Structure 1
């Protein structure tokens, strides 16, 4: 697996859902680029459900926590989306990444 972030966006025919699949390495730095892709996908249609699939990526725990925070708040970071448009996000992460995130949360 490469460290380079590779992103594929798929939008279903009736425009009710978009899936953003990321591969490679997701860090807090590369996450900024992923947020830009999410913002553009979210602008396609109001109320679009967005699914970010990082099951095939190596995700740093801090980056995964930031993704989950966006999912909980329904907004992207203000420096990415200053107008704070509603963003319906769900995150698909590998069980390994989720376990690492849970352990990091418990340690904090």
Structure 2
């Protein structure tokens, strides 16, 4: 697995769903790019069911905590969305975070 962040967005307008799948290393810094993608997807249509899949990523604990906080508050960080539009999304996280969390090493 690479450290480079890769993001794939799948949108099904007919079913009002969007899935944002991240691979690679997710840090608190790279999470900002994911937030921008989430904001863009959220603006496509009202009521779009958003899902962020980080099951195939190595996600730092702080980044996962920030992502969960945004999901619970239904808002993205103010520096990403100054207008604080309602943004509901679910998170698919690794079942065993210890296997997917980046710990500063380049383990595969």
TM range (shorter): 0.7 to 0.9
Q: Equivalents in 1 of 2:3, 2:99: separation in Å?
A: 21
How many Å apart are 1:90 and its aligned residue? 0.3
**Which structure 2 residues correspond to residues 51-62 of structure 1 after superposition, within 5 A?**
51-62=51-62
Which structure shows the higher helix fraction? 1
Aligned residues: 101
Partner of 2:64: 64
Kindly provide the CA deviation profile for residues 59-83 of structure 1, in whole angstroms up to 9, marking residues without a partner as x.
Answer: 0000000110011000000000000
Partner of 1:96: 96
Q: Equivalents in 2 of 1:66, 1:47: separation in Å?
A: 23
Contact 1:74 / 1:86 at 8 angstroms: preserved in 2? yes
Give the gaps of 5 or more residues in structure 1: 102-108
Contact 2:75 / 2:84 at 8 angstroms: preserved in 1? yes
Q: Equivalents in 2 of 1:98, 1:51: separation in Å?
A: 22
Question: Following superposition, which runs of at least 4 residues in structure 1 exceed 3 angstroms of deviation?
Answer: 98-101
How many Å apart are 1:99 and its aligned residue? 9.2
C-alpha spacing 1:75/1:49, structure 2 compared with 1 (3 Å): same
How many Å apart are 1:16 and its aligned residue? 1.1
Contact 2:56 / 2:100 at 8 angstroms: preserved in 1? no
Q: Equivalents in 2 of 1:26, 1:52: separation in Å?
A: 12
